[in-house]
Each structure stands twice: as C-alpha cells, then as structure tokens.
Amino acid sequence: MNNPDNNNDRSKTRLAIFASGTGSNTQKIIDYFRNDDNINISLIVCNKRGAGVLQIAERENIPSIVIEKGKFFTDGYVPILQEMKIDWIILAGFLWKVPVSLIQAFPNRIVNIHPALLPKYGGKGMYGHFVHEAVLAAGEKESGITIHYVDEHFDHGETIFQAKCRVDSNDTPDSLAQKIHTLEHRYYPATIRELITTKK
Ligand code: GAR
C-alpha cells in the first residue's frame, strides 16, 4: 500500500474511491470533502498500474492500492476494506465488474456514476467514449449522467440521481465527453454527501 493510513480519526464516515483512469471525478470528490467534518476520503483503489488516479492519491497523500484480478474476483478485497474501516465505496470510472463478495459486504453502500441516461447505453463494454459514440450514432438529442447503486449486473442498480445535457448536431465524442464531465463534477460530490447524510 502507498501512503499508509495516517488518519486515525475513525469518527468520520470513510470512503474508498475505486477508479481505473485519469481520475478527474476522484479529484473533484477529494476537493469537495477536503475539510469536511464528517466525511473522509480514506482510500483510493485502482486496477491499473500507472493510472493517473494513482498520482492524485500520491499528491493528496491518500492511501492507495493497486488490486489484482484473481484476488478481486475471489475475496473482493473485503478484508482490507474492513480492516481500513471503509463505510462506503464510490466508483468513479472503475471498469471492472464489482464481485458479489464485495456487494454482499457493502449492501447499498456502493455507488457508481455512468456517463449516460441509464437504462440506455449501459452494460458490458459501455464506458467512456464508447458510450458517447453510441449516443451520437443513435442521433440522441440529449444525454446525461446517472448516479446509481451497484448490484451484481453492469450499470443496473437503483438510480439515485440523473442530470441531462443537450446533444448538438455538431457534437463529437470528445465534446460530449466534456459536457458529461462538467455534469459529473458538478453533481457527483454533492450527491454523495446527500446520500451519506440521509442514510446515516
Ligand atoms: C467518467 O465519465 C465516468 O462516468 C465513466 O468513466 C469516466 C471516468 O472519468 N465511467 C464509466 O464509463 C463506467 N461505465 P475520470 O477518470 O476523469 O473520473
């Protein structure tokens, strides 16, 4: 583990962020909760060595682990998460399916953000630019974001929040991705806070 946990304040609600890529949502969530009295970003979990999100963890001095497929799909890293007293798991661009072992250990405590208006444009292989390409190819007039609970199916659990944006005729996958990221950054951290506060 990098940056071993030096935060002994266990009175706060402890979040683990799972991410696979650049980590722009992770950065926004960290910024949002930086001085929060009740919520702490306690761990970054990543499945890809060299991913940008690991540099964020390093810079922010947040403990991080790079997980390994065989172990993830066996014990879901549940013992480590429990040892670190993690309360909620926040997926932010995490591209592996969440195993049942993890879902059972954190019932209704795992949240994902998807860059489209589910149930449309979800499922296996639907991530990042593949989603935006599919939305444009279908001639959709609007797209958006979905924040939802995670269950054992890809992009399937109960919806918590959605926000929409227009799709213009001259949009490209990149320009649409930018609109979606703007929505994600605006709404994901606040939705997480709302959820945790009302569920406590
Ligand atoms: C986000 O747009 C998120 O919605 C998407 O990956 C991106 C990660 O960006 N997730 C999925 O497509 C999951 N199916 P980030 O690394 O800059 O936060």
Residue owning the nearest CA to atom 5 of ligand 1: 93
Token reading at 18: 């799972």
Q: For position 116, what pLDDT does the model report?
A: 98
- CA atoms of 146 and 164, how far apart (whole Å): 9
Which amino acid, one-letter code, is at 30?
Answer: I
Question: How does pLDDT run along the chain (200 residues), one tens digit per residue?
Answer: 887 765 556 789 999 999 999 999 999 999 999 999 999 999 999 999 999 999 999 999 999 999 999 999 999 999 999 999 999 999 999 999 999 999 999 999 999 999 999 999 999 899 999 999 999 999 999 999 999 999 988 888 999 999 999 999 999 999 999 999 999 999 999 999 999 999 85
Q: What pTM was estimated for this model as a whole?
A: 0.95
Active-site annotation holder among 114, 129, 148, 181: 114
Chain centre to alpha carbon of residue 122: 15
Percentage helix, strand, coil for the chain under 3-state DSSP, each rounded to 5? 40, 20, 40
User: Which residue matches tokens 């935060």?
Assistant: 7
Fold assignment, 1-107 = Rossmann fold (3.40.50)
Domain range annotation of the chain = 1-107
Q: For position 6, what pLDDT does the model report?
A: 55
Report the SS3 class of residue 97.
coil
User: Residue 114 catalytic?
Assistant: yes
The best mutation among 17, 18, 25 to test binding of ligand 1, ranked by most ligand atoms within 8 Å of the C-beta, falls on: 25
